[in-house]
Structure 1
Amino acid sequence: MAPKWWHDAVVYQVYPRSFCDSNNDGMGDLRGIISKLDYLKTLGVNVVWLSPVYKSPMDDNGYDISDYQDIAPEFGTMADMDELLEKAKQRDIRIIMDLVVNHTSDEHPWFKEARKSKDNPYRDYYIWRKPNADGSVPDEMGSVFGGSAWEFDEQTGEYYFHIFSKRQPDLNWENPKVQEEVHKMMNWWIDKGIGGFRLDVIDLIGKEIDNKITGNGPRLHPLIQQMNRATFGNKDVLTVGETWDATPEIAKLYSNPEREEFSMVFQFEHISLTWKNGDKWTPIPLDLPALKRVLTKWQVELADEGWNSLFWNNHDLPRIVSKYGCEGQYRVESAKMLATTLHMMKGTPYVYQGEEIGMTNVAFDSIEDYRDIETLNFYKERTANGVSPDAMLAAVHENSRDNGRTPMPWDSSDNGGFSAVQPWISTNPNYPQINVAQALEDKDSVFYHYQKLIALRKSMPVIVYGDFQPVFEEHEKVFGYLRCDDAQRLLVLSNFSGEAVDIDMPAHLCGVEVEPVIHNYEAHTYLPTQVTLKPYESFAVLLPA
C-alpha cells in the first residue's frame, strides 16, 4: 500500500458544543476551539475532526443540517470558521468536517419546498409514499430513535421517510439532482482548505425503502465511487465513513485504494460487544476473548486490502474507561492500558475530547438532566412498555450518548472552566479531580501517556505498517500481540483486569533483554519465563531482532 500522510496521523475529535465556550452563553463554539489549538498541538495530534457546526435547529445537536454552507450562530460565523482553518494550518493541524448527507433538517430550504406540493421541483429530493388504504403508515419500518420511520405531512397528504428523528427527513439519493447538489457543496468546502470529511451514516445512502433495505444497499458503492470522482478523489484529503454494520469484507470495499472510495471507515463491532443481542439499552459485561477476536479479525483482514480506524470513544459512545476499564481505583492505569492497546495497532487512531485525560461516564440523578434525543426517546418508550425507571436509568448511565457530551473540564473552577455560566448540559461532577490543568501538572498523567503514544507512532514505522500477530489469544484477562516488520519486533501486553495476573511467556518471547517503549507501571527491561502483570498493567517492548 502506498504511504499516505494519514497513515501515521492521529485524529482528535472535537464536539464543539461541549469543548470550550468563549462567549459565556453555556455552549462551546469555534472561537473556543481556536483558543485551545495550542493545547492540541502540545498533545501532538495533527488532525481535528469537527462534529457538525453547520446551521441547524439542533434537534439532534447539529446532525440535522438546515444550511450546509453556513455556520450555526451558536458556534460563531463563517469568518470564525475561516480563522480556525488558517490558525490550525499554522500549527500543522488539518480540520476534517463531519458531513451528514443521508438526511437534512426539516428546516432545510429543500425540504421546505418539497412539502409545499407534490409537483414541487424539490419534491423528489426526499422519499415520499402514499398512506395505505386505511390511512396507516406505508410499512412497519422503525426509526433508530424509536417509533415509526414514517411521518405524515398534512399539507400534501403523504408520508416522508426518516431513519432518525422526524425532523431529519432522508434524502433521495436516487435523484441525480441530490447527488449534484451534495457534490457541489463538498467541493465548496474542499476549496476552503479543509483536510477531509467524516461522513455520518454514509452506509444508508444506498437504501431501497420498498425492499426494506437501509444499510449497505446495492447502489451504495456506486454512489460512493461517483462521489469520489466528483469531489475528493484527486485531492490529498482524509475521508472516513461511519458504517455501523460493516464487516471486514464490506470495509475492504470502502477502503481498498484500488476501489477509489474512502480512506477508511468506522466499524463498531468491538463497541457493541456489551450490548445484549445488539440492544445498547440492555448492557452486559465485556467478554475479553470476544473483544480480542474482533480486534484481531479487523487487524488481520484489512492488513493488505484496506485501512483501519482505531477508536474507543466518540460523541455517540460512553467513555471507554468506564466501559472496558476501571473508573475508580485504577482509572489512570486502565485509561493508559486502553490507550496503549489501541494505539499500538495498525490503523489511524482517533482520540475523543477528554479521553486523553481519562474522563469517565456521568451518572445524573434524573432523566431530566439528560439532553440526548435518543436517550430521552428510548427512556420514554421503554418505561411506557414496562421497563422500570430505575433499570432504564441504569442503562442510560452506562450507554447514553450524553456520557461523551458533558463539557470538557479545563480546570477545577466552576463548570470546569468550560464556561462562566451553566452549560447546556451539566458538567461531570468529578471535574475538580479530572481536568486538563491537573493533567498538565502531573507528568505521570493520562495526558502525557497519550502524548508519548502519538509521538511513537510518528517515529516508529513498525507501529504504522508492521504485521499484527496475536499472542495469548484465549487468555481470559490478557490481550497481547506482536507488531513486526523487517527491522523490528514490538510486543504489547495488556491486563484487562483489576487483579494481578501471572502469564507464562512463550519460549520465543522470554529470557531476553528488551527495550522499553511505553508502560503504565515500571519499565520492563527483561522478560522472564513468567511475567506478573499488575492490575490493568500494560507495556510495549522492542524484542531483539
Structure 2
Amino acid sequence: MALLTSPPAWLADAVLYQIYPQSFADSNGDGVGDLPGLRARLDYLSELGVNTVWLSPLFASPFFDAGYDVSDYLRVAPRYGTEQDLVELVREAGQRGIRVLLDLVAGHTSDQHPWFRASAGLGAADPDDTPEHAADRYIWSEAAEPPGPAWVRSPGTRSGYFLPNFYAVQPALNFGYARTDPAEPWRQPVDAPGPRANRAALREIMAYWFERGVAGFRVDMASSLVKDDPGRVETARLWGEMRAWLDEAYPDKVLISEWGDPKASVPAGFHADFFLHFVGRPLRSLWGNAQGSHDPEWDTEACYFAPEGEGGLGEFLAAWQEADTAIDGNGHIALPTANHDFSRLTCGTRTRHMVAPAFAFLLTWPTLPVIYFGDEIGMRYLPGLPDKEGSQLGTQARQGSRTPMQWAESEPNAGFSAAPAELLYLPLDPASDRPTAAEQEADPRSLLNRVRELIRLRAAHPELGTGGIVRLVHAGYPGVFVRGERYVVVVNPSARPQTWALPGDLCVHGPVLARGVEVEGVGVRAEPFGYGVFELEGGPPGRRADG
C-alpha cells in the first residue's frame, strides 16, 4: 500500500526516552510511580536533551501484566492519576519541546474489559455495539473441546473457549484470519463484523488521545492482530489502512510498532519499528543479553559492546542494510538501549563505566535512538527479584529491568518515593555504589553528562542523525564509520586499547568530541571504552554501511 505522506519531519530528529511509569517517580508516597511525579521530573528530561517520551501503558487495568492488560482504553489507571494529570503532563512537556507517546495494546484486552465480559456472558453489552459486534469482538470456538492448547474455557454463560493473545487473562481481539476454513468457524474473515468493529475501535481510541495532545503511540505486539497470516499480508493491510486514516486525519502524529522487523512493518504503514531481542539477532549482536530476556540462552552469545571484545558488527549491519533498503527513506529504524522486557545496558560483565561507547554508537548511527529510563546513569539489571505483575515468564525474569529510578542518595528510597521500602513497586538496587542522577549531575565525567553531551552533539550536527549518510570503514575493534561527508566516528567497546590505520581517502581535520580516542595522521588509537567524533577535510558519500 502506497504511503500518502512522508513521516512527520519532527520524528527524524527525535531522541526517545521510554518511561515505565510505575517505576519512575512517586509523588504521593504509595510506592508506585505516577503522573504528577513524572511532571516534577520534566526538567531532568529537558536537561538530558530528549525530545520525545514514550510511556508504557497508563490505561485502566487489573495489572496482571503490568498494564498490558487493558480494561478501559479511555481512562487513566487511578494509581497514576487522572486524565487531567495526563493532559497537564502533555502540556508541560510540550512547553519544554518534549512530545509524549502512549502505549497502545492493540491485539488484546484484559478479561475484565467490558467488551470481553459482555462477549463471555458476564455483563451487559455496550449499547453502541450491534449484537454481532458484541459476540465477535473476540475469537471464540463453541466446540466441546478446545481447538488447541492455548485456548481458555469461557468464564461466563457463553459456552466454548476463547483464544488469548499472551497470558490467559488477555483475550485476543478478533481482527480475523487471513485463511478461513469452514470446519473451523471461529476463523472469521478480516472483513467480518467483529474485525471491522475492532478496527474502528482502534481509530476511536487513538483519536481520543490525539485530541488531548498525545503525539502518537508505540503499538504493542503490532504483528499479532490478524491470525494465521502467512507473510503478515493481512496484518500489513490493516496497518496500511490505519496509516491512510492517520495521514488524512492526524498527519503530524506517529505510530511506532513493536513488530521487531522494520523491513516489513514500516512499508506496511508504521513510521518506525524497533530492532528487538526477541525477533532475529541484530540487537543481540550489539548489546547482548546477559539476563532477563525472552530467551535465557542468549547470554552465551558474544556481543560487540562488551569488555571482552569478542563480538562483531556483522549481524547488526546485515539486518540494518536489509531494513534500510526496504524502508527506502519512508520511515525509521528505532534502536533501543533496552526496554521493560529485556536486560539493561549495565548487566553481566558490562558495568556502567563501560557503556558510554554504546551511547556514542546509539547517538551517531542513522537510527532513532531510544533510551530506556535509568540507562543514562547506568542503572543495573537486578537478578533474583520477586515476580511483579506478570514480569516472570517461566525462567525468564523481566522485573530486573523494571526497578525504581535512582534520583538521589540523600533522599528516601533514592528519591523515588517516600513510602516505606516494603511498599515500593519493586525493590531498589541495594548496592552501596548504585548510581543516582544527583551524584552524576555533579560529576562532569559521569555517564549522565557524557550522554547529555552526545545528545547535544547529535542535535548540533544533522549529519550524525537519521538523515545523514553512513559508510562503515572498520567493523572490528575499534569500530569506525563515516557520517555525512564531514565526520568519522570511532568507538571502542572493549577493555583493551585498540589501534587502527585510517584508509587513505579519510583525512582528519580535528576532533569534535574525543573521549579516549586520538587520531594522528592516519593512525587511530582508542583507549579502553573510548569514543570520538572527528571532522574530516573531505569524506566519501554513501548510505549503506559497506565495511
The TM-score, its normalising length taken from structure 2, stands at: 0.83
Which of residues 513, 528, 536 in structure 2 aligns to 1:535? Answer: 528
1:270 paired residue number: 282
- The SS at the match of 1:437 is helix
Alpha-carbon distance in structure 1 between the residues aligned to 2:319 and 2:172: 31
1:142-176 residue CA offsets vs partner (Å, 9 max, x unmatched): xxxxxxx2211153231111121111111001310
Shift of 1:182: 1.6
Alignment of 1:199-278 (within 5 A): 199-208=219-228, 213=229, 217-231=232-246, 233=248, 234-244=250-260, 246=261, 249-254=263-268, 261-268=269-276, 269-273=281-285, 274=288
The TM-score, its normalising length taken from structure 1, stands at: 0.83
RMSD: 2.5
Alpha-carbon distance in structure 2 between the residues aligned to 1:157 and 1:478: 62
1:332-382 residue CA offsets vs partner (Å, 9 max, x unmatched): 2x2211000111011221111111111111133xx5x2325252x403xxx
Which of residues 33, 39, 42 in structure 2 aligns to 1:34? Answer: 39
Alignment of 1:75-86 (within 5 A): 75-86=80-91
Count how many residue pairs are aligned between Structure 1 and Structure 2.
Answer: 483
Matched, 1:125 2:120: no
Shift of 1:121: 4.6
- The SS at the match of 1:536 is strand
Alpha-carbon distance in structure 1 between the residues aligned to 2:104 and 2:119: 22
Alpha-carbon distance in structure 2 between the residues aligned to 1:91 and 1:40: 9
Q: 1:236 to 1:431 in 2, by over 3 A?
A: farther
Alpha-carbon distance in structure 2 between the residues aligned to 1:59 and 1:96: 23
Alpha-carbon distance in structure 2 between the residues aligned to 1:116 and 1:359: 46
2:436 paired residue number: 435
Alpha-carbon distance in structure 1 between the residues aligned to 2:459 and 2:152: 50
1:516 paired residue number: 511
Q: 1:182 to 1:28 in 2, by over 3 A?
A: same
1:139 paired residue number: 148
1:4 paired residue number: 9
1:315 paired residue number: 340
- 8 Å Cα contact 1:195-1:237 kept in structure 2: yes
List alignment gaps of at least 5 residues for structure 1.
141-148, 255-260, 380-395
Matched, 1:478 2:478: yes
Alpha-carbon distance in structure 1 between the residues aligned to 2:8 and 2:84: 34
- 8 Å Cα contact 1:491-1:540 kept in structure 2: yes
Q: 1:460 to 1:3 in 2, by over 3 A?
A: farther
2:188 paired residue number: none
Matched, 1:371 2:388: yes
Alpha-carbon distance in structure 1 between the residues aligned to 2:154 and 2:7: 51
Alpha-carbon distance in structure 2 between the residues aligned to 1:279 and 1:87: 36
Q: 1:220 to 1:351 in 2, by over 3 A?
A: same
Shift of 1:414: 3.3
Matched, 1:152 2:149: no
1:491-536 residue CA offsets vs partner (Å, 9 max, x unmatched): 1222222122232333333xx5432223333x63x43444332222
The one-letter amino acid paired with 2:430 is P
Greater share of residues in helix: 1
Q: 1:359 to 1:296 in 2, by over 3 A?
A: same
The one-letter amino acid paired with 1:531 is V
1:169 paired residue number: 171
Shift of 1:86: 1.3
Alpha-carbon distance in structure 1 between the residues aligned to 2:90 and 2:473: 43
Alpha-carbon distance in structure 2 between the residues aligned to 1:167 and 1:216: 27
- The SS at the match of 1:262 is coil
The one-letter amino acid paired with 1:316 is D
1:45 paired residue number: 50
The 10-residue stretch of structure 1 (531-540 or 1-10) with the greater mean CA deviation from structure 2: 1-10
1:365-402 residue CA offsets vs partner (Å, 9 max, x unmatched): xx5x2325252x403xxxxxxxxxxxxxxxx5xxx322
- The SS at the match of 2:439 is helix
1:293 paired residue number: 314
- 8 Å Cα contact 1:173-1:205 kept in structure 2: yes
- The SS at the match of 1:373 is coil
The 10-residue stretch of structure 1 (303-312 or 103-112) with the greater mean CA deviation from structure 2: 303-312
Alpha-carbon distance in structure 2 between the residues aligned to 1:40 and 1:249: 31
Alpha-carbon distance in structure 2 between the residues aligned to 1:185 and 1:358: 36
Matched, 1:189 2:205: no
The 10-residue stretch of structure 1 (456-465 or 110-119) with the greater mean CA deviation from structure 2: 110-119
The one-letter amino acid paired with 1:112 is R
The one-letter amino acid paired with 2:369 is P
Shift of 1:93: 1.1
The one-letter amino acid paired with 1:171 is L
1:24-64 residue CA offsets vs partner (Å, 9 max, x unmatched): 00000000000000111111111111111111111111111
Q: 1:23 to 1:291 in 2, by over 3 A?
A: farther
The one-letter amino acid paired with 1:373 is G
- 8 Å Cα contact 1:513-1:543 kept in structure 2: yes
